[in-house]
Amino acid sequence: MSGPRQETRAFLEVEYPGAKPWYIDEVKEFVYVSDMMAIGDTCSFTIVADSKGETLRKLPLGALVRLKLMHPKVNGGRWTLKHLGRIVLRDASLNAGTIQVVSADLGWHLTACCGPLYKRFRGLKLGDIVRPGAGFIDPTFGFQGVRVGDANLLNRRIKQGRAFVQVEQQRVLDVLNVVQCEPGETFYDVLTRYAVRENLLLSVTADGFIQLWNPDYERAPVYSFEASDVRSNITDARRHDEAASRYSEVTVVGEALALGVQMNDPNDPNATKRRGHYRAPLGSNGLPSTLPFVHRLTAGDSEMLDSAMAKAAAEWRWKRGLFDSHYVEIDVADHYQLAGDGGRWLESDELADLKIPGLSLEGRYYVQSVACSSTVKDGDTAKIVLRWPHLLSAAYGVWGTRPMLSDPADTLALLPGVGEGQ
């Protein structure tokens, strides 16, 4: 009797300065993770070690790794680039005769390394600061450049093995006042602090570019997942709902001195405060529509220069809270799903139609993360995390427009199950 199907093959390219590239096409087991809300996505793999330690020496910490996957029903059976990263962990077992290696994408450098202390930039745009060679991102990290404004389209196509598209390179956005790296801050801490203010997410592409982007919620879904009496392509599913981050009202307070003002008014300490509010609409019962009680968040941000910026910041926090408050995790038995144009890899930053009556779920969801695993015991399996769409954006004034607050009622109307006692 044959065991579980292991149809996906993994191919590794390992590079280290001063050594010849090493190619590994016999990977015993692997786990590949793609998460659009994480920086430093990992892949782990197990290979057979030789008795003389030669295999171990060819897998040193810090080595550059490219992971390519192949399945006969996806991308015409051709190899697809999924991951470019560094070896950050390895475990070798003498008795088992195996080596387990973890590689993290180049975003690992941004989270694991503190930035240069008190490094200051003035009069530059965020895209200029992120760009390798600008004096902030260290060249030893190996980034190829920066991509902005492509809504992750090129990266999605690379990971799907689709034809590449030409992407217009844009500088982002307005000139920032002063950017400075404080003690203990990582590169990621500094960059995301300003990326959020420009309504942008920060990630790293499969081919080694830093990326500033927004999700595209208007495209058609490419996956369909269902667990019902009619059809089922899900082996298990779990639903998570949490009240802690589901706010009825968010207020962001900043401080800005008017021209010529040297200090706060001693008679009114709030004179220079800039406030922005974002409130959930009321339901038919007269209570907030997100929860049946007031749940307020107040946050401070010293660099809110005017009320419009503070309002946009409040909108972002309100939406991000909803995003964090609900997710669905499903298990499936393959690394791909058949579509009209052939098999398509299961990947993050895609849209999916979801129907699970037993968990009161039906509607369109955003694929936050996918973890594809292939083991001798379980074969090819995948864990997928889905979130509500339309929430990873706020009216910050993307691509140079002025902030315009969206209607929270319109946002809630787009989310399956919100405001229905679910």
pLDDT digits (tens, 9 = 90+) for 212-258: 888 889 899 999 999 999 899 999 999 999 999 999 999 988 876 55
Please write the tens of the pLDDT for every residue from 288-305. Answer: 888 999 999 998 877 676
Given 151, 184, 213, the domain boundary residue is 213
Q: How far apart are CA 42 and CA 33, in angstroms?
A: 6
Residues 320 and 176 in one domain: no
- Looking at the 3D structure of the chain, how many domains does it have? 3
Given 186, 213, 240, the domain boundary residue is 213
Query: What is residue 6's predicted lDDT score, i.e. its pLDDT?
Result: 82
Please write the tens of the pLDDT for every residue from 140-167. Answer: 999 998 888 776 888 999 999 987 776 6
Residues 113 and 97 in one domain: no
Query: What is residue 396's predicted lDDT score, i.e. its pLDDT?
Result: 45
In a domain, 2, yes or no: no
In a domain, 344, yes or no: no
Other C-beta atoms lying within 10 Å of the C-beta of residue 331: 13
Given 179, 213, 247, the domain boundary residue is 213
What does the pLDDT average to over 263-267?
Answer: 61
Residues 26 and 174 in one domain: no
pLDDT for residue 308 is more than 50: yes
What does the pLDDT average to over 247-276?
Answer: 70
In a domain, 325, yes or no: yes
Residues 316 and 400 in one domain: yes
Q: Provide the residue range defining the domain that includes 360.
A: 221-331+350-371+382-422
pLDDT for residue 171 is more than 60: no
Residues 180 and 296 in one domain: no
User: Strand, helix or coil at 388?
Assistant: coil
Residues 255 and 165 in one domain: no
Higher pLDDT, 285 or 105: 105
Higher pLDDT, 263 or 150: 150
Give the confidence band of 272 by pLDDT, cuts at 50, 70, 90.
Answer: low
Residues 407 and 268 in one domain: yes
pLDDT for residue 386 is more than 90: yes
pLDDT for residue 105 is more than 80: yes
pLDDT for residue 401 is more than 60: no
Residues 291 and 315 in one domain: yes
Q: Which amino acid is at 151?
A: A
Rg (CA), the chain: 24
Query: What is residue 258's predicted lDDT score, i.e. its pLDDT?
Result: 53
User: How many residues would you count in the chain?
Assistant: 422
Location of structure tokens 């990263």: 85
Q: How far apart are CA 369 and CA 332, in angstroms?
A: 13
Dihedrals φ, ψ of 225, to 5°? Answer: -120, 135
For all residues of the chain together, what is the average pLDDT? Answer: 87
Residues 230 and 262 in one domain: yes
In a domain, 342, yes or no: no
Using a pLDDT cut of 90, give the percent of the chain over it: 55
Other C-beta atoms lying within 10 Å of the C-beta of residue 400: 9
Q: How far apart are CA 280 and CA 276, in angstroms?
A: 14
What does the pLDDT average to over 10-25?
Answer: 93
Residues 92 and 116 in one domain: no
Residues 325 and 398 in one domain: yes
Please write the tens of the pLDDT for every residue from 188-218. Answer: 999 988 887 777 889 999 999 999 888 889 8
Sheet of 145-148: strands edge to edge?
145-148, 209-213, 201-204
Residues 115 and 197 in one domain: yes
What does the pLDDT average to over 10-39?
Answer: 92
In a domain, 138, yes or no: yes
What does the pLDDT average to over 254-280?
Answer: 67
In a domain, 406, yes or no: yes
Query: What is residue 397's predicted lDDT score, i.e. its pLDDT?
Result: 40
Give the confidence band of 181 by pLDDT, cuts at 50, 70, 90.
Answer: confident
In a domain, 137, yes or no: yes
Task: Name every residue whose Cβ is closer than 8 Å to that of residue 364 and which is 6 or more positions away in sequence.
Answer: 221, 351, 352, 353, 354, 389, 416
pLDDT for residue 53 is more than 80: yes
In a domain, 173, yes or no: yes
Q: How far apart are CA 133 and CA 9, in angstroms?
A: 37
Query: What is residue 358's predicted lDDT score, i.e. its pLDDT?
Result: 96
